[in-house]
Each structure stands twice: as C-alpha cells, then as structure tokens.
C-alpha cells in the first residue's frame, strides 16, 4: 500500500500526520515503532494481519513549527516510497 498523509492532528505536544485510518488496525495495537531525530513513527497491526505497518508520523511541537513537521513528513514518505530504509 502506498502511504500518504490523509489528515493532520494537533495535540498539545505533537503534530501527527495520519497515514491510515485508525479502524484499519487491531484495537490497542498502535505504539511508537521507531524514533528518528525529532520524528516518531507510530505503527500497529492491521486487522487480519500479523505484521506491523505504519499508522502515523509524530513531531514534537516544542522542537518544530507545523511547516517544518510537514516538510519532514513529506521527506520521510518520499524515502519510504522509494524503498530506502527509514532508520
């Protein structure tokens, strides 16, 4: 599945780029799966599968402005689509 940002959420501490609908995932399976600099990749187990997939990208609001978070999310998704490891 080609991931893209379907929505942005803002909490008091984070900007969150939503990549897939939450109801696509098993209940309570969403968790941080990788931290990279100011970015946290949130993932979970899609319904009917056993492997973990990306749910969202999260950015600390104390560290970044919204436009910076948008740019980082775009770059991360470009790397993901190109098949480069996102580590």
Give the angle 61-24-27 at the CA atoms, nearest 5°. 80
Binned at pLDDT 50, 70 and 90, residue 73 comes out as very high
> Parallel, antiparallel, or unpaired: how do β-strands 14-18 and 7-10 relate?
antiparallel
pLDDT digit string, tens, across residues 3-61: 899 999 999 999 999 999 999 999 999 999 999 889 999 999 999 999 999 999 999 99
| Contact status, residue 74 vs residue 48, Cβ threshold 8 Å | no
Domain residue spans of the chain: 7-81
Q: Which residue has the higher pLDDT, 2 or 49?
A: 49
pLDDT at site 80: 86
Q: Does the structure show a pLDDT above 80 at 62?
A: yes
Write down the pTM of the prediction.
0.90
């Amino acid at each position: 599945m080609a991931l893209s940002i379907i929505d942005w959420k803002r909490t008091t501490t984070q900007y969150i780029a939503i990549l897939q609908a939450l109801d696509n995932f098993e209940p309570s399976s969403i968790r941080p799966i990788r931290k990279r600099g100011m970015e946290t990749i949130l993932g979970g187990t899609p319904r009917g599968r056993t492997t973990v997939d990306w749910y969202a990208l999260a950015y600390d609001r104390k560290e970044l402005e919204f436009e910076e978070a948008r740019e980082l999310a775009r770059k991360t998704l470009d790397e993901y689509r190109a098949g480069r490891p996102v580590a």
